Chains A and B, each alone.
Chain A
Amino acid sequence: SQQGEEDPQALSIQEGENATMNCSYKTSINNLQWYRQNSGRGLVHLILIRSNEREKHSGRLRVTLDTSKKSSSLLITASRAADTASYFCAISYNNNDMRFGAGTRLTVKP
Chain B
Amino acid sequence: ETGVTQSPTHLIKTRGQQVTLRCSSQSGHNTVSWYQQALGQGPQFIFQYYREEENGRGNFPPRFSGLQFPNYSSELNVNALELDDSALYLCASSLEGQGGYEQYFGPGTRLTVT
Contacts and interface: CB of A to CB of B under 8 A. Distances in A.
B107 A43 contact: no
30 contacts: A30-B99, A31-B99, A40-B110, A41-B107, A41-B108, A42-B90, A42-B105, A43-B43, A43-B90, A45-B103, A45-B105, A48-B101, A88-B43, A92-B100, A95-B96, A95-B97, A95-B100, A96-B50, A96-B55, A96-B97, A96-B98, A97-B58, A97-B98, A100-B35, A100-B43, A100-B44, A100-B45, A102-B40, A102-B41, A103-B41
A88 B90 CA distance: 14
Contact of B98 (A3, A95, A103): A95
A99 B92 CA distance: 13
Contact of B42 (A33, A40, A42, A100): A100
A44 to B, nearest CB: 7
B45 A42 contact: no
Contact of B92 (A43, A94, A96, A101): A43
Contacts of B55: 96
Given A43-B105, A98-B99, A102-B41, 18 more contacts: A35-B105, A40-B88, A40-B110, A42-B2, A42-B90, A43-B43, A43-B103, A48-B101, A48-B102, A88-B43, A92-B98, A94-B97, A95-B98, A95-B99, A96-B55, A97-B48, A98-B98, A100-B42
| Binding site secondary structure of chain A | strand
Contacts of A3: 42
Interface of B: 2, 4, 33, 35, 37, 39-45, 48, 50, 55-56, 58, 88, 90, 92, 96-108, 110
Contacts, number: 78
Interface residues of A, number: 25
A89 B55 CA distance: 22
Contacts of B48: 96-97
A30 B104 CA distance: 19
Which 10 A/B pairs are nearest by Cβ-Cβ distance?
A: A95-B97, A92-B99, A96-B56, A100-B42, A42-B105, A45-B102, A95-B100, A95-B99, A43-B105, A42-B107
